């Protein structure tokens, strides 16, 4: 996984584009962990075991601080922990893409492989919801290229 110092230098310079790009879907258990850690409830229930973070009118995540770092970093949703690796499920097969954002050149193959292994544990309904929304919001993705890994 990328280290905190890497996030600080690269991600704060990027102004946390991913945290305004598409907010993650997450499970009931992930939401509970965030609430248990004392953070406010900015979630919207979509269906049983499927939540999303409610954004403001600028699509910004409410957990994003003014310095562009994540206020819930230690307990943030798994999809956030994996970014810029993004899991997908197509033709009954799992896979991942990697978004070529500014953090991408700093990720070693070893780190990416670990993230792909973790991505394989994300429940399918979470991935499917993410991609349903991504398709509707595809204009937002034009800033960075991405590739299958």
| Closest C-alpha among 143, 144, 149, 2 to residue 69 | 2
Which residue, 72 or 126, is less far from ligand SF4 as judged by CB? 72
Nearest approach in angstroms of CB 57 to ligand SF4 is: 16
The CA-based diameter of the chain, rounded to the nearest angstrom, is 41
> Which secondary-structure segment (H or E) carries 127?
helix 124-136
Can residue 51 be called a binding residue for ligand SF4 (CB under 6 A)? no
88-117: contacts with ligand SF4 (CB under 6 A): 101-103
Can residue 26 be called a binding residue for ligand SF4 (CB under 6 A)? no
Handedness of CA 81, 33, 20, 139 (dihedral sign): positive
| Closest C-alpha among 100, 91, 85, 106 to residue 4 | 106
Which residue, 90 or 113, is less far from ligand SF4 as judged by CB? 113
Can residue 70 be called a binding residue for ligand SF4 (CB under 6 A)? yes
Can residue 11 be called a binding residue for ligand SF4 (CB under 6 A)? yes
Q: Which of residues 51, 76, 127, 129 is near ligand SF4 by CB under 6 A?
A: 76
| Closest C-alpha among 148, 149, 147, 143 to residue 15 | 143
Q: Which residues bind ligand SF4 (CB under 6 A)?
A: 10-11, 14, 16-19, 23-24, 53, 61, 63-64, 70, 72, 76-77, 80, 83-84, 101-103
């Amino acid at each position: 996984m990328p280290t905190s110092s890497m996030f600080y230098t690269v991600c704060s310079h990027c102004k946390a584009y991913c945290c305004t790009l598409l907010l993650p879907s997450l499970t009931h258990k992930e939401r509970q962990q965030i609430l248990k850690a004392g953070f406010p409830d900015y979630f919207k229930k979509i269906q049983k075991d499927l939540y999303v973070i409610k954004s403001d009118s600028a699509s910004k995540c409410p957990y994003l601080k003014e310095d562009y770092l994540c206020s819930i970093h230690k307990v943030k949703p798994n999809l956030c922990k994996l970014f810029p690796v993004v899991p997908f499920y197509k033709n009954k097969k799992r896979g991942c893409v990697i978004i070529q954002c500014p953090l991408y050149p700093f990720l070693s193959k070893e780190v990416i492989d670990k993230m792909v292994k973790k991505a394989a544990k994300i429940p399918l309904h979470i991935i499917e919801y993410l991609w349903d929304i991504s398709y509707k919001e595809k204009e937002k993705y034009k800033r960075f290229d991405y590739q299958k890994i």
